[in-house]
Structure 1
């Protein structure tokens, strides 16, 4: 089965949020997009929101 195509999304954040995202992504050696995906999946799992295993990014650190 071919992987699902990605879609673009655009939103504005504060400069402070962007700096935090960049710092977290750099520490985990992830892209900004992948860092957001990992953070969202982690949040959903902690809150009991069903996460489709095929949609979840790799949650281990990329080191």
Structure 2
């Protein structure tokens, strides 16, 4: 579940943990950042920590000419 914007998180961990995450990410065909995000989501789900949903994607608006922002004519 990717969102449009991401935040940067910098932290220090033991080299053994870093290598374990790298191996897990290779095994899952994921980037290390995505693997860590999956691990955090899994942990939060198991212990009941709710993760807020990203803001809803705004609906495309129609211009004054009646043409939507996608280029299709409005009905």
Match of 2:45 in 1: 45
Q: CA RMSD in A?
A: 1.5
* Structure 1 unmatched runs, 5+: 55-63
- Normalised by the length of structure 1, the TM-score is 0.71
Aligned length: 52
Match of 1:13 in 2: 13
Q: What is the SS of the residue equivalent to 2:26?
A: helix
Highest CA radius of gyration, 1 or 2? 2
Write out per-residue CA displacement over residues 16-44 of structure 1, whole angstroms, 9 at most, x where no aligned residue: 01110001000000001100000010011
Following TM superposition, where does structure 1 have runs of at least 4 consecutive aligned residues deviating by more than 2 angstroms?
Answer: 51-54
Partner of 1:57: none
More helix by share: 1
Give the alignment's TM-score, normalised by structure 2: 0.61
Task: For CA contacts below 8 A with separation 6 or more, give which structure has more relative contact order.
Answer: 1
Structure 2 CA distance for aligned equivalents of residues 15 and 40 of structure 1: 19
